[in-house]
Amino acid sequence: MKIVIKRRNSTLLLFVLCSMLFFNHQTAKCEDDATTPIKASVAKVFPALVRIYVVSPSPVGGRIQKFSSSGSGAIISPDGYVVTNHHVAGNSMRIVCTLSNNEREEIEAELVGTDPMADIAVLKLKLNKRKNPNAPLPFALWGNSDELKVGDIVMALGSPGSISQSVTQGIVSNTEMILPKYMRGAMKLDGENVGAIVRWIGHDAIIFGGNSGGPLINTKGEIVGINEIGFASLGGAIPSNQAKKVVNQIIANGRSLRSWSGITLQSRLKGVNQDKGVLVGSVLKDSPAKKCGIKAGDLLISIAGTLVNATVDEELPLCNRILLALPAEKDSTLLLLRDNKEVSVTLTPEVLENILTPIIEFPELGIIGRDFSRVMALVKSRENKDGLLVLGIRSGRATSEAKPSIKDRDVIVAVNGKRVSNGSDLKQFVKEAMDSNGGKSDILVEFERGKQVLLTVIRLGEKSEKDRAVQAKKAWLPLSTQVLTKKLAKALNIQGKKGVRISMVYKKLADENFPLEVGDILLAIDGEIIDANQIEDYDIFSTMVKRYRIGKEAEFKLIRGGKTQIVTVKFQTPPPPISEFKSYEDDTFELNARNLHPMDQENKDKEDTVVGVMISEVERSGWASLAGLKQGDILTQVNNHNINNVKELADILKKIKIDHPKRITFFVKRGIQTRFLQIEPNWN
C-alpha cells in the first residue's frame, strides 16, 4: 500500500516538474520574444549615447561664478555632431562628453549653436583629440515622431544623476503634451517661454535630472524625441521631427532661422462667435506687427496662405511655429478678421535675436551687466539699444565704493563724456583710463535710474584692503590657556585657587628649554595672583604678560602634578600678525593666498615642515574652486613648479595666463594628506 502511494506521488511529482519545466520554457521563450526588439533597438542607439559634463557661467553678486553640471546627449553623425538640450550646454564655457564604449572615452566638444526657444543645442566632438582620431564613431538615426501613438513602447536613454549611461522603458502617454497655464510664464530659458513652439511627447519611462538632452527611442532603434522635462513620473520629450529641423539649421547656419513680428498669440476666447483663427493677444510698440497695423484683439486667419486655428491651447505651438518661420526682411501677407471683416496686411518681420544677451563681467569695475536686445530695450521703454544694463555689483570693489552708488538695473550710458553703446565700449573706455594713468584712474560715469540721469565718480585700480598697520610688539609666551573656573578647580581638588591652565604649548615657536608644560596650573607672576576664575576672565593672563618687556624673566607660581613650585620663564618676541604677511589676489582663478605664518606649522609633526603658501580665500564657483582648492590648503606646487612664497605664485600664474595650458595642476597639503587638484579652464 505504501509502495503504491509512493508510486502515485512520484508520478504526480514527475508530472508537476515536467509541467513546470514546460511552462518556464514557454514563459522564457515568450519573454525573450517580447524583449528581443527592445534589446535590439537599445543596442542600436546606446553606443551613441554620451554623458555631457559642462562648466557654465552664472552671475552672482557682481561676478560670474562657474558651476559644473551634467546632462545627456546623442551622437547623430559619423563626424561627431551631438544633440542635447539648450539648458544642458547652451551657455557652456567648457564641454566634455563621455562615450558609452568600454573605455568610457572622454572627448572635448565645442558648442556649434543653440536655440533656447526649442531647448535644443548642437555640439561637435573634437575628434582630432581622441586617442585614435580615425576610430569609427557610433551614431544614432532620427525616427519619425509623427508616427508615435499613445501606448507605443519607448525607451529613455541618458545619465540620470550624472551616473553612467542607462536606459528605462515606458509607453507614450500623450503626443501633444503642453504646460499648464500657471507654469508657462514661470518656465523660461534665456527669456524665452518654454513650450511656445513645443508640444512634448509625454511618456512614463523614468527620467531624473541628468537625463535632459538624452534620446527617447522607439522599438526600431530610432530617435523619436529629446528628453527635456519631467512631472512626477511623467517625462516630456521634444519631438524628433521638430528637433531634427532645428539641429539641421544650427549645423548649416550656426543658429535656428526664425523671424520676429512682435505678436503674442492666444487661443480664441470662449463665447466668441467664430470657428476659425487665432487671437492676437498683444502687439509690441515699434514692432513689425505694429507698423503694419495689426492690433490686439484681431483674429489671425492665415499666415502667408497657411490657415491657422487655435480653439484650445494645445494648438498654439503650431501657430507660433508658422509665424516664426516667416522669412525675415521679406514681405508676407497676413489675413485678419477685425469687427467681422477680413483685413489683409503686409508684414515684414525682422530677424529674431535672443531676448537676453550674454552676461559680461567687468573686473576693474566690480560689476556684471549685459547689452540690450531689441525686446529688452522695448521692455525698459528705451529709444534704442545703447547703454549697459547693470545686473550685479561686487562688494568691496570700485563701483560699490562710489558715491552715489550704482545699483542693479541701472543703465550706464557714458564714461568721461563718451557715450556707451554697449559693453565693448565700456571695457574700452575703462582700459583707456587705466592705461593713461598707470593703472589707477578716477572716471566720471553717467547712468540712468528710471527717468533720472545721475553722475558718479568711480576710482579704478584700488581695492578695499584690510588694515595692515604694523602692531607694536609686546611680550608673548608660546602657549594657549583656559581659565581655572571654580568648577574646574573643584574637579582638580584645588578649590579656592585662581589662575589659568596651559592647554597647548607651541613647541616650534618656543625658546629652547622652555619650562612650561601642558597641564600646568599658573597661579601667579612675580607674586601677583592671576585673578581669573570665570570664563569672562579669559584675557586677564594675556594682559599681565603684555606688561613685561621682551626678554625679561619672571617667576611663575604653578601647580604641576599636584605640587606647587616656582619656575623662571623668559618672555619672547611674538610672531608677526598674519595681517603683516604678504598676500596675493588673483582675479582669473579667484583665489587669495599669503605667505606662511609660523603658526601654520604649529600643528604639524616636528619633521613635517611645509614650504608653500596658505590659501586664505577661494571665491565660490571660481576656477580655483572648481579645481577643488579650499581655504586652509597649503599650496606647494603649480604645474610641477615649487611655490615658496606669494611672489613665486604670482609669477607662475602670470605665465600660465599667457601660455594658456590645457590643464593646471595644484599640489596641496591638506591636513595630514597631500593631493593633486586639476582644472581645465576656458581661455576664451
- Taking only the tens place, the pLDDT of each residue in 341-355 is 999 999 999 999 889
User: Residue 362 has what pLDDT?
Assistant: 94
How far is it, in rounded angstroms, from Cα 211 to Cα 123? Answer: 17
User: Residue 1 has what pLDDT?
Assistant: 31
Whether the pLDDT of residue 465 is over 70: the answer is no
Whether the pLDDT of residue 188 is over 90: the answer is no
User: Residue 630 has what pLDDT?
Assistant: 92
589-606 average pLDDT score = 78
User: Residue 104 has what pLDDT?
Assistant: 81
User: Residue 180 has what pLDDT?
Assistant: 78
Single out the catalytic residue among 70, 100, 119, 583.
119
Whether the pLDDT of residue 15 is over 70: the answer is no
Is residue 515 domain-shared with residue 585, that is, in the same domain?
Answer: no
User: Residue 430 has what pLDDT?
Assistant: 94
Confidence of residue 466 (pLDDT cuts 50, 70, 90): very low
Single out the catalytic residue among 41, 56, 70, 87.
87
Confidence of residue 609 (pLDDT cuts 50, 70, 90): low
Is residue 99 domain-shared with residue 70, that is, in the same domain?
Answer: yes
Domain membership of residue 247 (yes or no) is no
Whether the pLDDT of residue 156 is over 70: the answer is yes
Whether the pLDDT of residue 74 is over 70: the answer is yes
| 586 among known catalytic residues | no
Is residue 454 domain-shared with residue 368, that is, in the same domain?
Answer: yes
Is residue 32 domain-shared with residue 52, that is, in the same domain?
Answer: no
User: Residue 19 has what pLDDT?
Assistant: 40
Domain membership of residue 495 (yes or no) is yes
User: Residue 464 has what pLDDT?
Assistant: 45
CATH for 509: 2.30.42.10
From the number of C-beta atoms within 10 Å of its C-beta (0-12, 13-18, 19+), residue 233 rates as: exposed
Domain membership of residue 474 (yes or no) is no
Q: Smallest Cα–Cα separation from 483: which of 473, 472, 492?
A: 492
Q: pTM for this structure?
A: 0.74
96-110 average pLDDT score = 88
pLDDT digits (tens, 9 = 90+) for 536-594: 998 999 999 999 999 999 999 999 999 999 999 999 999 888 777 888 998 889 899 99
Is residue 488 domain-shared with residue 564, that is, in the same domain?
Answer: yes
Is residue 64 domain-shared with residue 100, that is, in the same domain?
Answer: yes
User: Residue 673 has what pLDDT?
Assistant: 86
Per the listing, cell 507654469 goes with 183
Is residue 423 domain-shared with residue 493, that is, in the same domain?
Answer: no
Q: Smallest Cα–Cα separation from 539: which of 469, 475, 480, 472?
A: 480
360-369 average pLDDT score = 93
The cell for 6 is 509512493
Confidence of residue 440 (pLDDT cuts 50, 70, 90): confident
| 267 among known catalytic residues | no
Is residue 270 domain-shared with residue 323, that is, in the same domain?
Answer: yes
Single out the catalytic residue among 72, 92, 212, 256.
212
Contact 12, 19 (CB under 8 A): no
Is residue 617 domain-shared with residue 658, that is, in the same domain?
Answer: yes
Q: Is the dihedral of CA 7, 12, 17, 18 positive or negative?
A: positive
| 641 among known catalytic residues | no
How far is it, in rounded angstroms, from Cα 315 to Cα 595? Answer: 66
Is residue 488 domain-shared with residue 565, that is, in the same domain?
Answer: yes
Domain membership of residue 167 (yes or no) is no
Whether the pLDDT of residue 260 is over 90: the answer is yes
Domain membership of residue 160 (yes or no) is no
Q: Which of 12-16, 84-88, 314-318 has the lowest mean pLDDT?
A: 12-16
User: Residue 579 has what pLDDT?
Assistant: 75
Confidence of residue 185 (pLDDT cuts 50, 70, 90): low
Whether the pLDDT of residue 533 is over 70: the answer is yes
Looking at 129, 154, 169, which one is the last position of a domain? Answer: 129
Task: Residue 632: give the domain boundaries.
Answer: 578-679
54-70 average pLDDT score = 87
The number of domains in the chain is: 6
How far is it, in rounded angstroms, from Cα 265 to Cα 196? Answer: 10
Question: What is the average pLDDT score of the chain?
Answer: 88
Query: Which residue intervals of 436-587 are DSSP H helices?
Result: 486-491, 540-546
Residue that wins the pLDDT comparison between 83 and 193: 83
pLDDT digits (tens, 9 = 90+) for 472-520: 578 999 999 999 999 999 999 999 999 999 999 998 889 889 999 999 9
CATH for 123: 2.40.10.10
The cell for 56 is 557654465
Domain membership of residue 201 (yes or no) is no
Domain membership of residue 303 (yes or no) is yes
User: Residue 231 has what pLDDT?
Assistant: 80
258-263 average pLDDT score = 94
Confidence of residue 677 (pLDDT cuts 50, 70, 90): very high
Share of the chain above pLDDT 70, in %: 91
Confidence of residue 525 (pLDDT cuts 50, 70, 90): very high
User: Which of 18-22, 90-94, 145-149, 188-192 has the largest mean confidence?
Assistant: 145-149
Is residue 28 domain-shared with residue 57, that is, in the same domain?
Answer: no
519-532 average pLDDT score = 96
CA-based angle 643:647:652, to the nearest 5?
Answer: 60
Looking at 319, 351, 383, which one is the last position of a domain? Answer: 351
Residue that wins the pLDDT comparison between 610 and 409: 409
Share of the chain above pLDDT 90, in %: 67
219-228 average pLDDT score = 96
User: Residue 603 has what pLDDT?
Assistant: 58
How far is it, in rounded angstroms, from Cα 256 to Cα 325? Answer: 10
Is residue 23 domain-shared with residue 100, that is, in the same domain?
Answer: no
Whether the pLDDT of residue 141 is over 90: the answer is yes
Looking at 570, 591, 617, which one is the last position of a domain? Answer: 570
Is the backbone peptide bond immediately before 404 cis, with ω within 30 degrees of 0? yes
How far is it, in rounded angstroms, from Cα 283 to Cα 260? Answer: 11
Domain membership of residue 306 (yes or no) is yes
pLDDT digits (tens, 9 = 90+) for 638-664: 999 999 999 999 999 999 999 999 899
Characterise 671 by phi-psi region: left (phi > 0), alpha (psi -120 to 50), beta (else).
left
User: Which of 55-69, 295-309, 602-616 has the largest mean confidence?
Assistant: 295-309
Query: Which residue intervals of 392-455 are DSSP H helices?
Result: 423-435
